[in-house]
């Protein structure tokens, strides 16, 4: 990997921007160049929200990415909007708890992650973004699981009652992606 771009997209309030930000922090912790570009509608909670994260081993010339290697979509409108943007050979991580369709693209890998269900089993549906982050890390290998876990502990550890839930959510998302066999998408 010299440079990897991912888009995280969903409704405001699903933790989409936080998931992307945690990925950016993980890249920074590993000494990589990163860019995190958030975008959200004026409605905030319930409106559309997405971010693009670029993690690179070389200097990032432009953080504006038209065709990312990956899209992590948390809801159906995001699925419809961002699936066509993924470059061939890329990865689609789908929150199958809320999205009841799959892509017909044969030039990308798709991982279905019942993120809401896994988050509930971990202790709270609010951890669905961490499940999706774990799945992305497991499938892309852009940053190590160990680094992502350390960042979740560092950035999300202030609320002690939430830390075990978030760590379990991260681990379960990661495990699902690794077990899917669709890992290490090429940059």
**pLDDT band (50, 70, 90) for residue 187:** very low
Say if 185 falls within a structural domain. no
Say if 53 falls within a structural domain. yes
Say if 52 falls within a structural domain. yes
Average pLDDT over residues 22-34: 98
Please determine, for residue 47, whether its predicted confidence score (pLDDT) is greater than 80. no
Please determine, for residue 186, whether its predicted confidence score (pLDDT) is greater than 50. no
Average pLDDT over residues 141-157: 96
Taking each helix axis as running N to C, give the angle between helix 16-29 and helix 145-156, from 0 to 180 degrees, rounded to the nearest 10.
120
Please report, for the domain that includes residue 157, its CATH number.
3.40.920.10
Predicted TM-score (pTM) of this structure? 0.93
Say if 62 falls within a structural domain. yes
Q: How many domains does the chain have?
A: 1
Say which range, 32-36, 59-63, 134-138, has the weakest mean pLDDT.
59-63
Say if 187 falls within a structural domain. no
Say if 127 falls within a structural domain. yes
Please determine, for residue 43, whether its predicted confidence score (pLDDT) is greater than 90. no
User: Which residues span the domain enclosing 143?
Assistant: 3-180
**pLDDT band (50, 70, 90) for residue 48:** confident
Say if 94 falls within a structural domain. yes
What per-residue confidence (pLDDT) applies to 150? 98
What per-residue confidence (pLDDT) applies to 45? 60
Three-state SS letters, the chain: CCEEEEEEEEEECCCHHHHHHHHHHHHHHCCCEEEEEEEECCCCECCEEEEEEEEECCCCCCCCCCCCCEEEECCHHHHHHHHHHCCCCCEEEEECCCCCCCCCCCCCEEEEECHHHHHHHHCCHHHHHHHHHHHHHHHHCCCCHHHHHHHHHHHHCCCCCCHHHHHHHHHHHHHHHHHHCCCCCCC
Say if 172 falls within a structural domain. yes
What per-residue confidence (pLDDT) applies to 40? 72
């Amino acid at each position: 990997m010299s440079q990897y771009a991912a888009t995280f997209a969903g409704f405001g309030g699903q933790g989409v921007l936080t998931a992307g930000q945690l990925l950016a922090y993980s890249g920074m912790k590993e000494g990589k160049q990163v860019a995190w570009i958030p975008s959200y509608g004026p409605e905030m909670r319930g409106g559309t929200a997405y971010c693009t994260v670029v993690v690179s081993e070389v200097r990032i010339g432009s953080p504006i990415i038209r065709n990312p290697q990956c899209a992590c979509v948390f809801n159906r409108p995001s699925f419809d909007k961002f699936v066509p943007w993924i470059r061939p050979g890329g990865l689609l991580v789908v929150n199958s708890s809320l999205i009841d369709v799959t892509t017909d693209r044969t030039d990308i890998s798709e991982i279905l992650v019942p993120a809401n269900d896994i988050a509930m089993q971990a202790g709270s549906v609010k951890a669905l973004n961490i499940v999706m982050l774990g799945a992305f890390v497991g499938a892309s290998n852009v940053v190590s699981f160990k680094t992502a876990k350390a960042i979740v502990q560092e950035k999300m550890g202030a609320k002690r009652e939430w830390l075990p839930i978030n760590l379990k959510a991260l681990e379960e998302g990661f495990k699902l992606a690794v077990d899917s066999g669709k890992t290490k998408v090429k940059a």
